[in-house]
Amino acid sequence: MKDHKELLSDEISLDPPDWEEMRGLGHQMIDDMLDHLQHIRKEPSWRKIPAETKEFLKENIPQLPLAISEIYEEFKKHILPYPSGNTHPRFWAWVQGTGTPFGMLAEMLAAGMNPNTALGEHSAMYVEQQVLNWCKEMMNYPDTSSGILVSGGSMANITALMVARNHQTGKDIRKEGVRAAKGNMTLYCSTETHSCVEKAVEVMGIGSNSLRKIPVDESYRLRIEELERAIKSDLDAGNTPFCVIGNAGTVNTGEIDPLDELLSISKKYNLWYHIDGAFGALAKMAPEYSGKLKTIEEADSVAFDLHKWMYMPFEVGCVLIRDAAAHRSAFSSEPFYLMNHERGLAAGPDPMGNYGLELSRGFKALKVWMSLKEHGVQKYAAAIRQNIAQAFYLGELIERENNLELLTPVSLNIVCYRYKRAGLSEKQLNRINKEIVMSLQEQGIASPSSTVLGGRYAIRVANTNHRSRKEDFEDLVSETVRLGDRLLP
């Protein structure tokens, strides 16, 4: 083994020994990925991963170098052909955006610059500030509000809820913990709220029993009278209600809670009002929805994902907080090693670590910055409107089919439906529809996902796909019927 002296006489680096080879391969990679995206429609929507690939991906850690061209061949053989498929025009599973070629290139530039967007006087910090200002413009939040880019809706929601928890009680929850509050700290959302909120409440030490899941009406919207009853009952029991969460687009059906009425209740009981608009908040840019979603502008905080309905490459979400001081005081921490200076590299904007849980952060803002410049916000609004129009069209197609049933009226970009035949039990229908979903995916036809609504298995199409076309939905309908007919007992 070499000693220190020998090591220093023969220093190494991880830069390529042959820059020209790296340059050539880099160009090839860009060509290949652009070809891949350009022709993605010709690919199946999903492919099974072969056993050989799964075995290959269990190999032990490489001890010695492999040629970069070989590594790239491995990528092309084992990784690229088996994506989840969310770049495909017939992918509508969960809620996943599609990405764009320019977004991909922006990711490469961000990785090349490789800044840590935690603190300091460097361009990435200012790009993020500008992107946050653009996010405020999209949501019509005041200039004085604050925000942070995070990995996604889950982090955006927990960030906002931590601010709410620390701000609403008037106690120093950061130091004393939730035990400083009177009774239990309680918060309220509908039963349709995304599971990440429950997880956030658990992580925050509040305990999921204190997340009051308020029942919904037949349209899956929170029942206001039940909410008020729950708040009153907590007050009577000596608890500390602190936050109401409204959904701008529920994950199951895309329904929008009665946001105005939630605002009134929050004001009446002096509660923090947070809106989870992971995808739905962005529909605010569509004229048909701007009125319905206007209340977002008056909420204390809003969470939304740019990797969902802004089609940015994963990951990037955003949270905006109306009261910047409350935001900062929930997270600020200024150890000596992170001190800001008046000049030099350690000057710069307020460190982002004062606004969120993370310290080290990548340059997520660049893909947002470049993509918004590439298309302009109006094109995004048009794409969102197109997705909504497609969802309504799919709803109509389903209603026209005797053997399909819409399980809830379409209200935004999510369509829940099932194959149905008279004489079949609910159990049989659930089994057939689950088979249909798996077959659609396995045959590479389309990738919807699923949910259960009122005990009924639903084929769920969440459309945040800028590549989908009208005929993709027509094919989905005819293929659902074809598969359903085949699966009849």
Ligand X SMILES: Cc1ncc(COP(=O)(O)O)c(C=O)c1O
Task: Lay out the sheet containing 447-453: strands in order across.
Answer: 91-92, 447-453, 456-462, 414-419, 404-406
The residue within the footprint of ligand X, chosen from 305, 365, 448, 458 (CB under 6 A), is 305
196: Cβ contacts below 8 Å, ≥ 6 apart: 153, 154, 157, 158
Q: Which stretch binds ligand X (CB under 6 A): 60-68, 151-159, 290-298, 373-381?
A: 151-159
The encoded tokens of residue 29 equal: 């990679």
351 binds ligand X (CB under 6 A): no
Omega of the bond prior to 43 within 30 degrees of 0, cis? no
Tell whether residue 154 is a contact of ligand X (CB under 6 A).
yes
194 binds ligand X (CB under 6 A): yes
| Token pair listed for 346 | 């350690």
Closer to ligand X at the Cβ: 194 or 284?
A: 194
If binding is defined by CB under 6 A, does position 368 make contact with ligand X?
A: no
Rounded Cα gap, residues 221 and 259, in angstroms: 10
Question: Is 192 an interacting residue with respect to ligand X (CB under 6 A)?
Answer: no
Q: Does 276 bind ligand X (CB under 6 A)?
A: yes
Q: What is each CA distance from 400 to 348, 405, 477, in whole angstroms?
A: 59, 9, 10
State the Cα torsion 375-377-382-385 to the nearest 10°: 140
Distances from the Cα of 225 to the Cα of 222, 231, 458, angstroms: 9, 10, 29
Q: What is the four-CA torsion angle of 448, 453, 457, 459, rounded to 10 degrees?
A: -20
Q: How far is the CB of 200 from ligand X (least distance, A)?
A: 10
Using rule CB under 6 A, residue 255 touches ligand X: no
Binder among 152, 246, 353, 356 for ligand X (CB under 6 A): 152
Applying the rule CB under 6 A, the residues between 394 and 413 that interact with ligand X are none
Give the contact letters, 224-253, x = binds to ligand X (CB under 6 A), - = no: -------------------------x-x--
Smallest gap from Cβ 464 to ligand X, in A, equals 9
Q: Residue 93 or 326: which CB sits closer to ligand X?
A: 93
- Sequence letter at residue 239: N
**What phi and psi values does residue 406 have, to the nearest 5 degrees?**
-80, 125
Asked if residue 98 binds ligand X (CB under 6 A), the reply is no
Does residue number 278 form part of the binding site for ligand X (CB under 6 A)?
Answer: yes
Tell me the closest approach of the beta carbon of residue 279 to ligand X, in angstroms: 6
When asked if residue 95 is in the footprint of ligand X (CB under 6 A), the reply is yes
Note the residues at the interface with ligand X (CB under 6 A).
Answer: 94-95, 152-154, 194, 196, 249, 251, 276, 278-279, 305, 317
